[in-house]
Amino acid sequence: MRDHRHDGDHKGEWHLTPYESWSHGALVHVVMRGSPSKVASVGHEWDRVGKTLDDRADSLETALTALSSSWRGVAFDQYRTMVVDIVAASRLLARTSQELRDLIYANSEVLAKAQSLIAALPPDDDETTTTSLSGDWGVVRVHATGGPVTVDVSSGGA
């Protein structure tokens, strides 16, 4: 199951998608229609956001250093405090953006692996098949027993 945060009437509440109640065909359809490259492109955007925030923080620090040689007094001290706070917040947001990027890249990899696993499954019959793939992002296990398919995903290293 996957957690989803919904806005609107359910702001702040977590809801679980009941994948276990979906039919095999619906699960396969959703996974196979996914686009690992589109998911990764969202990760690229978060990477860009993080780098931009870091660049802006660097610029603010450089400007503050330049000002410190010619500006003294209470006003400068207050300005420096404000800039230091802004830089710290920017760095925190940049790190958060990079963490989001990494999570999204991992989701892209998991989607690609799940698509490979599904494509490699035998046609629906009486055979039981279990296939596993693992990586830094975790482990994906697909278990098929005469049609019904279960997919287990665990996070962490292999």
Q: What does the pLDDT profile of the chain (158 residues) look like in tens digits?
A: 444 444 445 556 667 777 778 777 788 888 899 999 999 999 999 999 999 999 999 999 999 999 999 999 999 999 999 999 999 999 999 999 999 999 999 999 999 999 998 888 776 554 555 556 666 656 666 665 555 556 666 666 54
Give a yes or no: residue 113 inside a domain.
yes
Give a yes or no: residue 34 inside a domain.
yes
Give a yes or no: residue 105 inside a domain.
yes
3: amino acid identity, one letter: D
Asked if residues 133 and 116 have their Cβ atoms less than 8 Å apart, the reply is yes
Domain of residue 103 covers 25-119
What pLDDT is recorded for position 95?
97
Give a yes or no: residue 78 inside a domain.
yes
Give a yes or no: residue 134 inside a domain.
no
CATH assignment of the domain containing 83: 1.10.287.1060
What pLDDT is recorded for position 94?
98
Q: Rounded to two decimals, what is the model's pTM?
A: 0.66
Give a yes or no: residue 63 inside a domain.
yes
Counting the structural domains of the chain, the total is 1
What pLDDT is recorded for position 128?
54
Give a yes or no: residue 29 inside a domain.
yes
Task: Tell me the C-alpha distance between 140 and 118, whole Å.
Answer: 11
What pLDDT is recorded for position 120?
83
Give a yes or no: residue 153 inside a domain.
no
Q: What is the mean pLDDT of the chain?
A: 82
